[in-house]
Structure 1
Amino acid sequence: MIVRFSVENFKSFCDKQELTMIPAKKIKKNKEHVVSFDKVSLLRTATIYGANASGKSNLIEAMKFAKYVITNRVPLQANKMYCRVVSDGLNRDSTFEFEIFKNNKFYAYGFSMNLFDRIIKSEWLYELVPGKDLQHMLFERETEIKRIELGDRIKLDEMDRMKFKTYTLDFEDNNSGLFLKEMNRNKKIKNGSSLEFFKDVFEWFEEDLVTIFPDQPITDFEYFYGDDGNQKINQIIDLFDTGISKVKIEEISLSDLKSKLPSKLLEEVLTSFKNKLENSDHNKNAMMSLRTRNAFYNIKGVPGEEPIITTIMLEHGAQSFSDFEFDEESDGTRRLFDLLDILISNKKNKVYVIDELERSLHPKLTYKFIELFFEILKNNHTQLIFTTHESTIMDQNLLRRDEIWFVERNKDNISHLYSLDRFKERYDKKLSKNYLDGRYGGIPILKIFPFSEDGEV
């Protein structure tokens, strides 16, 4: 789970801005929205509003960018991602920091870098002590003085000490990559090692943090192939009044697949599947899923046999005389199928960060999805952070005040992030009306076009 995220000098964010998932102490409503650990409680959702071009998508982009740098490398386009609306943005360091909960421990991990030069300046990782204003250094790094140090509390055995010394010597001249990534690149950190925190924290970024943008498919529908997956999807899809009466998996031929995919893509898919077969255990099924924006295919098989290819087919109405393919459904229905993966795939401890959750969805479907998120995943530690323009979900029966955030752009085109909770609204207030009336900010300021009396500009 995520506790806090902060960013500085990235795109429209100039000064440090912070999103926190720590609940406000005075809010007692919707207690089921809070997950409690030892001495720390965390919210399960954060909803971010803002006008077009306010910078709310940049907040999601900052998380995505940081994850990419951590798990891969610094991208070439980073040199244009600093805050370019201030004179010193080019020379200022950009900072990204996450506070997270992983394997029953709280960590703060972050790094600073010069985006224009694509140079890492510093990197740090601390373990946080719940209920106390304490943190224990796990490691710190400063590239200019070639310093990589473990905290005093880290006690290594002889083998780990030799390994760590070798790793740091090999990496001390590197200012283009992160040490956290290096410690997970072909390094075998055994279970129980004092260095295991490197593996745990990296795994959170690689597997637990999921960032999604509007035209990006969320799921490859693997949940259909799990225990009772098909049954669960049919139970839930009925709640959304999409006209779909039944979802099923249907086998298609290789020639059918060839007719639906561009030849180059088909060749890449079949080559990839062949490689999977070669690397799989003998007589054991290899499986891969192919997902495009409008279609889904699953391929499985064993070496030496024709692969089995399946796709999703949909029935409409109580008496369906013909099945519908996935690409025949509306954008909203396809988007809904993506979101349902969050509800039924049973991927615990995920943090889904979604830009424009409501894209192509009717307001009532968006509302219903959030209701089901809290209901179905009430015993799950999954978190949902999303941007939206949908004011109908700004409802204190659905969301707490501390789950609602705004991004507003000032006259200098600099974005600022703040919580609705600072307004201390009563529980009977109509939030959506007040928001659209401009009480909380985060809406477009429209101007009147100056026409002359004869109608000309």
Structure 2
Amino acid sequence: MLIEFRVKNYRSLRDEQVLSLVASKDKTLQDSHTQATGIRAAPFLVRSAVVYGANASGKSNLINALQNMRAVVTESATSKPDQPFAVQPFRLDADSIDQPIEFEATFLLDGVRYQYGFALSTQRVVSEHLLVYQAFKPQRWFTRRFDAGTGKDVYEFGSGLKGPKNLWERATRPNALFLSMAVQLNSDALRPVFDWFENRLLIINEHADFPLKRSIQGLQQADENKEICNFLSAADTGITGITVETRRVQVPRISLSDSMAGKTGMQSEEMVEHTPRFHHVTERGKAVFDLLDESSGTRKLLVFAGPVLDILRDGQTLVVDELDTSLHSLLLRELVRLFHDSEINTGGAQLIFTTHDTSLLDAPELFRRDQVWLVEKDRDQASALVSLSEFSPRKNEALERGYLAGRYGGVPLLSHALGLKH
């Protein structure tokens, strides 16, 4: 489970911002909305978190920052030696432009807490560190920092990290992470950290989405077909069953060898096509619909169905930017409630998402106060992330009305934006 994510000097996130999934001491909805960890520093973690903010407030930058951190971990070891990092510092402050971008993630995996982070410029890694809490006190497995005077990286290793550390150090390029290179060179000790980023942290935004193929594969298995149908039925889609029709189709293909020989370059090859069919039954009749006959919300939910069931089953962390896009408010609520259902979410899966859907704030027992986060920009156009808990709203306070009135920040007041007086 993700415990905390820190980011500094990334796009509009100039100052250090912290997204914490550590539950407050409030006992409200503790059994359903939080997960016990067994560690004293963070005894409970929330199973979901929602981030609100006006357009261009920096919500997406928060998600992109986590995605960039994941990309550097998973890709830097295999990147080209001179390949720059696709990151951008805060550009509206002369002091920030020349400062490194900083990322740090703290997460819990198999009862062990890992705190891993790094700083980088567009050209190289500036620093890197890993702390491991196998007991209450942390073990510093390694630190790395760039010495501008010598032009070299300086490493310090702790006794907890086993393996040919000097070999891994020599193999690590300036634009690669030590963690990533060591794992590529078969470090068993660091593999869990790398695998958490690669396999247990899933991020969906405009740059990445779930393929429909995963859900269709699930529909072809009897047990998972039932789970997916139940998933869609819980959202009141009216679907009573889904079947998958399989047929062979001829697909045109260009043959380069024929084209070079002066022959017609078009050929065809046979492919297998899987088409979902949706069954609806009412008291007055029944019908079967194609995918395009269903609403955009149902199609979006189907795309999510297979992967979300995997996430709930395997205890992964799902991060989604603008989850409400093409997803009706009621469908979104049901999706969130799946993560809060302790009988379904047995592995500590988490859902973190941004949205503009303010109706969720007053949905009965959907969120605790410590699960709601707000992003807004200051006069310098720097984004700030703050928890709703810091405003100490009353138990029965109308949160949606208060948010839209600007009581908690995170939303522009139209009169202020237009320069009008009340």
TM-score between the two structures when normalised by the length of structure 1:
0.78
Partner of 1:303: none
Q: Does 1:310 align with 2:274?
A: yes
SS in 1 for 2:97: coil
Q: Does 1:361 align with 2:353?
A: no
Cα distance in 1, alignment partners of residues 418 and 376 from structure 2: 23
Partner of 1:444: 412
Paired letter, 2:224: G
Paired letter, 2:181: E
| CA 1:69–1:153: 2 relative to 1, 3 Å | closer
SS in 1 for 2:7: strand
Cα distance in 2, alignment partners of residues 125 and 373 from structure 1: 29
Paired letter, 1:336: L
Partner of 1:288: none
Q: Does 1:113 align with 2:120?
A: yes
Partner of 2:262: none
TM-score between the two structures when normalised by the length of structure 2:
0.84
Paired letter, 2:178: F
Contact 2:84/2:124 (<8 A) preserved: no
CA deviation after TM superposition for structure 1 residue 77, in Å: 7.4
Structure 2 unmatched runs, 5+ = 257-269
Paired letter, 2:186: K
Paired letter, 1:140: T
Contact 1:30/1:399 (<8 A) preserved: no
Partner of 1:282: none
Partner of 1:166: 167
1:255-289 Cα offsets, whole Å, 9 max, x none, are: 2xx38xxx58x99xxxxxxxxxxxxxxxxxxxxxx
Partner of 2:31: 31
Identity of matched residues, %: 29
1:199-248 Cα offsets, whole Å, 9 max, x none, are: 01000000000010157432422433456011112223222232433211
**Count of paired positions:** 387
Paired letter, 1:374: H
SS in 2 for 1:377: coil
Cα distance in 1, alignment partners of residues 159 and 19 from structure 2: 31
Paired letter, 1:14: R
- When the two chains are superposed, the root-mean-square deviation of aligned CA atoms in Å is 2.6
Paired letter, 1:213: N
Q: Does 1:103 align with 2:110?
A: yes
CA deviation after TM superposition for structure 1 residue 48, in Å: 0.3
Paired letter, 2:138: Q
Partner of 2:338: 372
Contact 1:249/1:312 (<8 A) preserved: yes
Partner of 1:202: 194
SS in 1 for 2:314: coil
Structure 1 unmatched runs, 5+ = 190-195, 268-305, 452-457
Q: Does 1:384 align with 2:351?
A: yes
Contact 2:316/2:348 (<8 A) preserved: yes
CA deviation after TM superposition for structure 1 residue 129, in Å: 5.5
Matches within 5 A, 1:101-180: 101-115=108-122, 118-128=123-133, 132=136, 134-144=137-147, 145-154=152-161, 156=162, 160=163, 163-171=164-172, 174-180=173-179
Q: Which of the numbers 299, 303, 325 marks the counterpart of 2:290? A: 325
Q: Which of the numbers 370, 377, 388 marks the counterpart of 1:420? A: 388
CA deviation after TM superposition for structure 1 residue 342, in Å: 4.8
CA deviation after TM superposition for structure 1 residue 428, in Å: 1.2
Matches within 5 A, 1:250-265: 250-255=245-250, 258=251
Cα distance in 1, alignment partners of residues 392 and 233 from structure 2: 38
| CA 1:403–1:237: 2 relative to 1, 3 Å | same
Contact 1:12/1:83 (<8 A) preserved: yes
Contact 2:48/2:336 (<8 A) preserved: no
Q: Does 1:244 align with 2:239?
A: yes
Contact 1:315/1:324 (<8 A) preserved: yes
